[in-house]
Chains A and B, each alone.
Chain A
Amino acid sequence: MLRIALKSALFNKRRLVGTGLSIVIGIAFLAGTLVFTDTIGRTFDTLFADVYKTTDTYVRSSSEIDVGFGQKLYDRLPESILAEIKAVDGVDDAVANVGGFARVIGKDGKPIGVDNGSPNFGMSITDNPLEAWQKVGDSVYPRGGEQMMMDAGTAKKGKFTLGDKVNVISQGGNRVFTLVGTVRFGNADSPGGSTFALFDVPTAQSFVGKTGEIDAVQVAAEPGVTERTLADRVQKALGPDTTVLTGAEITKESQNAVGDALSFINILLLVFAAVALFVGSFIIYNTFSIIVAQKQRENALLRAVGASRGQIISSILVESVIVGLIASAVGFVAGIGMSTVLKNLMATFGIDIPAGGVVLLPRTAIVSFAVGVVMTVFAAVSPSVRASRVAPVAAMRDVALDKSATSRGRLIAGLLVSFVGALLVVVGLTGNVRQLGLGVPLLFMGIFVLGPLIARPVAGFIGAPLPRVVGMTGTLARQNSMRNPKRTARTAAALMVGVSLVTGISVLAASVTSSVRSIIGDQFVGDFVVNTRTQGFGGLPPELTQKLNALPEVGSASSLQLGYGNVEDRTKASALSVVDPKTIGDAFDMKFISGKASDLTATGILVSEKRAKKDGLTVGATVNLRLLDGVKRPLRVQGVYQKDELAGPYTISEELFRSSGADLFSFAVFGTKAPGISEAKAMSAVESVTRDYPTGKLLSRSSYIDEQSKQINQFVNLIYGLLALAVIIAIFGITNTLSLSVYERTRELGLLRAVGAFRSQVRSSVRWESVITALLGTAQGIVIGILLGYAVIISLRDEGLRSFTIPVTTLIVVVVLAVIAGIVAAIRPAGRAAKLNILEALARH
């Protein structure tokens, strides 16, 4: 029996390829994701191992705020601590690090590096051997407030040579430095894809950090003193205000932090790999079902001559194992290439992550093969059982048409599974991701079961105009798409999954877009914005706001900063809006229920209505807030505002934030024009100032609203890119089904040709059948996608998402693409159908 299965699998290579392809793509994505994230992980692991290679002990402040995604903010230390450390017994050498945000401006006036990917650093550098950098060529270390170095990668990108004047923007404003050197990092020009502007310690302190303060100290031990011993001694000497780590600990910690930050990308990609594999399993199931139907007589014959049911089942399962193994192997190899594709795809959408040589772990191979084989076999189980149920007498009969598509059992089972799936989706949307992850596939499976019930009427409906438009071939296409509803439905279902996700996402995006538009339009009452795309780290220096406020054409300019703090000892840090109470009210209308923005002082806090209700806060109540310096400040509630979509739950003053020692950056500056000044005049005055700060983008009120509402598009496009894979797999599924159908209908195609159908007519009938199938899947997908999108939006109602918008244009594009996909999917099978030799086709049994 094993030999029969092997022969059957290898005999029909085309079938093997058709089935395997859907798995190959899914496994390639899975393996590619693992290789990609492993490679990034290894790159950063190596990077940090190098950074702290010579560091035996690492000292930083013990005051920290955990902002999530593996990121922590640390307070600074007084620079006097360096001398204290050097005095500890066993310390050979120590060097202070000063760091913060700084952005190098290229000769073309545009900032170098990316806005929201690898960060842009300003740091201190000395000739101390503890520093991880190596000088390049004739470089010298910077001395004094007018010299700088940079990493060789940034110098290359900006085409800078030694002696060039370089503009750098940081907390300290826009300053010009002379480039005196470049550095490399091991053999990397630009470690981790970041940009580095490097200064001597006092310059770094005044420009990117804080005068008199340092961020951390790297310590080297005397020979014979272990890392642990030294760390313990330093800790003892410095006391509880510092955290002292060994070199190994700080290395591990940095590696883990990057790992945590990257796990988001890992999970995102794995979700799409799962979608691709899920769609692939539909196709395997469908293919095996068709094969089993086509081999009914053969299996009946085997049964008649004495094969047991178990042998029939195992013959098909063995074939599925072979398909699974070969497909996994091909997919695994393709995955290595796919990792590069993924890297480029992420980079295209702004997530540019450096990666070194390809990292191939045994785990990647094991997972690829296990998933590929298990999925293929799993999808083949039910068809194989069905095959084994064939009565031996069927060998003597003509194959009966499969009419079981419309049983009552199917209706009940389908409705039940869909219902449970939908229920889990609804429950899952209230915050339980696991139930959502279970509910969506279940819902799809329910629809998959129900598919054959609706496939006939819906395919008939979709194909109804065809006879009139393309004549007889249209009639044939329509009839063929209706003649085996199970097959058509299963083929369409694969496409349904991808289309419903695309539709759901586009509904969500359209709704977010219109929601953002109305929120900003509602609350932003200013005339212009200087906007950045930095998220949390860095931004525009405070001096920009001061300069704008000094312009006679400007009414007021108010900066907005994102800060973090721990409220009431909660472990999870809260986001804080940091504002200038005097001016923020000019640009924003937060709809104060009590108090007003200008009531806010350095000892007070403004809270949102929602937050106030939850915590029972009113004006005059006390909120305890711990900022970066670790000091717990009792703050008086000085106002409660209704509109929290932009400001979030808490708003504090710049003055308070500054007193905690945090760096000051605005992620945007909002302004109004002075009374009686034309918009054009105000904008050109503002532009004369913002010209020197190219990290910001000057926008009018309306273009700012446009830009913000479209912000989600980039992310949505990335998701479309990833979902394209599921759609491509589904197209292969259509091709596969059509190929099997064409094979099955060889004689009737021969007949058509004999009685006078042109090759082009045969081709056209297959093509239109494909288009009907594609449109069937698309129609189902759009309906389900809109429902899913609606469910998500309802669940996000409390988060400020208040509009439900159906993106008609996008959906029309989806339908047009589906027609094209159908045509493309039909190319090969239609070509094969048209090329049939009439006499051979007629003679086929």
Chain B
Amino acid sequence: MAPTDTLVTQSTAPTRTSAASTIDASKVYGSDDSEVTAVDHVTVAFETGRFSAIMGPSGSGKSTLMHCMAGLDPLTSGQAFIGDVDLTTLHDKQLTKLRRDKVGFVFQSYNLVPSLSALENITLPDLLAGRKPDQAWLDRVVQTVGLADRLTHRPSELSGGQQQRVAVARALVARPEIIFADEPTGNLDSHASTEILEFMRRAVIDLGQTIVMVTHDPVAASFSDHIVFLADGRVVDEMDQPTAERVLDRMRQFGS
């Protein structure tokens, strides 16, 4: 449950140290003649305490894979796990509880509830669960994110970068087993992007958080420890300790 600082040897098969994993997972949209296979028999695992990225060109199924792994979308076949909990066995209420207690989210945009203050947004999962946030932890997260003087502001009074920092802080405060970030820098300029990515890295290193980020941006992906490449719904490659150049090279091989 508690994030660990230890780096564990990676493996593509699900192990007890995987924060999230799938076995032979498929997601098919539509029916009969208009079937689209978004995720095609994917078996993948993301290690605890690491910053992982899912990369691929648009239409590769990376977002769908993330949605299914995060319990936002049911699989058509196969299994998805958060820790050792099989998501396919859970009904809606259990899934909601799991998302609330074990999963954090950062979306590309519209991460915040406009009528709530930054602080209320950060503590939203705790508030929804009706429990008090851990004040020391909250202070530390807020300190790390650098939002201490912005807590009473409404989202509309924050810049895009600040809004995403609030979103990341929200994901961190609940101390989830894993954070899924879906193109978290997609709407930001390069300065704000770097800030957020640095911050996410620090969260993994300093706070021991596990993060899985979906992105199509090689620069963003280069901030991660480990990349899983997706094309046409299948895992086509993996890369450790990436740099922007290596990622870009690898991506060029996919494209025509």
Contact = CB atoms under 8 A, between A and B. Distances in A.
Contacts of A752: 113, 124, 128
Given A755-B170, A839-B67, A480 B128 contact: no
B238 interface: no
Interface string A722-756: 00000000000000000000000001100111111
B113 A476 contact: yes
B31 to A, nearest CB: 17
Interface stretch (B18-26, B100-108, B189-197, B247-255): B100-108
B119 to A, nearest CB: 12
Contact of A755 (B73, B110, B120, B125): B125
A756 B124 CA distance: 9
B107 to A, nearest CB: 7
B16 interface: no
B127 interface: yes
Contact of B107 (A471, A756, A842): A842
Contacts of A756: 96-97, 99-101, 103, 125, 128-129
B8 interface: no
Interface in A747-798: 747-748, 751-759, 761
A838 interface: yes
Given A472-B128, A476-B116, A479-B115, A754 B99 contact: yes
Interface residues of B, number: 30
B92 A759 contact: yes
Contacts of B159: none
Nearest to A752: B113
A751 B110 CA distance: 8
B99 A401 contact: no
B30 interface: no
A545 interface: no
A842 B183 CA distance: 13
Question: Interface on chain A toward B: helix, strand, loop, or mixed SS?
Answer: helix
B111 interface: yes
Interface of B: 67, 72-73, 92-93, 96-97, 99-101, 103-105, 107, 110-116, 120, 124-125, 127-130, 156, 170
Contact of B73 (A475, A747, A751, A839): A839
Interface string A455-477: 00000000000000001100110
B120 A475 contact: yes
Given A475-B127, A839-B72, A758 B96 contact: yes
A483 interface: yes
Interface of A: 401, 471-472, 475-476, 479-480, 482-483, 747-748, 751-759, 761, 838-839, 842
B91 to A, nearest CB: 11
A532 to B, nearest CB: 62
A24 B129 CA distance: 43
A475 B72 contact: no
A755 B100 contact: yes
Given A753-B96, A755-B99, A755-B105, A471 B156 contact: no
A748 B113 contact: yes
By Cβ-Cβ distance, the 5 closest A-B pairs, closest first, are A756-B100, A479-B115, A472-B127, A483-B115, A756-B99
Given A479-B115, A755-B124, A755-B128, 15 more contacts: A471-B130, A472-B127, A472-B130, A480-B115, A482-B115, A751-B107, A751-B110, A751-B113, A752-B113, A754-B99, A756-B128, A757-B100, A758-B93, A759-B96, A839-B67
A483 B111 CA distance: 18
A752 B115 CA distance: 12
B110 A748 contact: yes
A476 B115 contact: yes
18 contacts: A475-B120, A747-B110, A748-B114, A751-B107, A752-B113, A752-B124, A754-B72, A755-B99, A755-B128, A755-B170, A756-B125, A757-B96, A757-B100, A759-B96, A761-B128, A838-B73, A839-B72, A842-B110
